[in-house]
Amino acid sequence: MQRMKTYDVPHKGLRNALSQLSLLAGSTDYKNSAAVEKLCLLGRDVFSLLTVHAADENEVTLSELEKRCPGCSQHDVEDHENIHQTQDNLERLLADIHADVHAGKDASEKGDEFYLAFSEFHGVYLEHTAEEERVTQPLLWQHFTDEELAAHRGKIMGKLSPQVLLTWFKFVVPAQSPEERSALLSGFRKMAAEPFFREAMGVIEKVLSSEEYQFLQLNGTI
């Protein structure tokens, strides 16, 4: 029987987000203020989700694991601290680029450094998420039932503001398979107020292909 996978939904979304930022960081004209503004807006969304996700894991998933398996959360918590330090440096560099280009300066050299540093960060983060799925997930299965893991997810979801949830959806929903996407949005529809569900679907429609969105309409998900 397939067990509940704690990390599948958020990690797919984050891998999508990181890949988008990596692509844009490499293709941006760092002399063009509009192009840099676009990069900074995407960076703001991606870095904010990384911060939220690490806090959610520390405060819920790893906190609960530590209660039942003392010491089992230490490696992931330390990873989060190291990742946060590198992320903070990247955010400061991106802010410097934004300031320079809006002051009329050519930020190409800093842009090259941001792209390379972000590429290194991207690789480290992908390794981190894979380790959580290969090492931490089996520990969660060992110490918790699927009902308990679902309760952890519910606690995390309950902490998210509407705006953060909409930002998650921009990256999470396109990263799911059609079946996963339908299940995710069907569950969300049962919990969300109708106006907010419609607002979310307006966001989601912009990041799906017409065929993917029509699939959701045809199978009754939306």
E strand map for 45-131: none
Does CATH number 3.90.400.10 belong to domain 8-159? Answer: no
pLDDT digits (tens, 9 = 90+) for 195-204: 999 999 999 9
pLDDT at residue 62, as a whole number: 98
Q: Report which residue type is found at 119.
A: S
Query: Quick check: helix, strand or coil at residue 144?
Result: coil
Percent of the chain with pLDDT over 70: 100
For residue 15, the number of C-alpha atoms closer than 13 Å in the C-beta half-sphere is 14
Is pTM beyond 0.75? Reply is: yes
pLDDT digits (tens, 9 = 90+) for 164-180: 999 999 999 999 999 99
- Contacts for 33-38: CB closer than 8 Å, 24+ residues apart: 33/101, 33/102, 36/97, 36/98, 36/101, 36/102, 36/107, 36/111, 37/98
The pLDDT of residue 100 is above 80: yes
DSSP state of 161: -
d(CA 43, CA 49): 10
pLDDT tens digits for 103-161?
A: 999 999 999 999 999 999 999 999 999 999 999 999 999 999 999 999 999 999 999 99
Give residue 15's region: left, alpha or beta (phi > 0; psi -120 to 50).
alpha
Place of tokens 């996963």: 180
Cβ–Cβ < 8 Å for 64, 144: yes
Torsion angles phi and psi, residue 177, rounded to 5: -70, 165
Q: Whole-angstrom Cα distance, residue 22 to residue 192?
A: 33
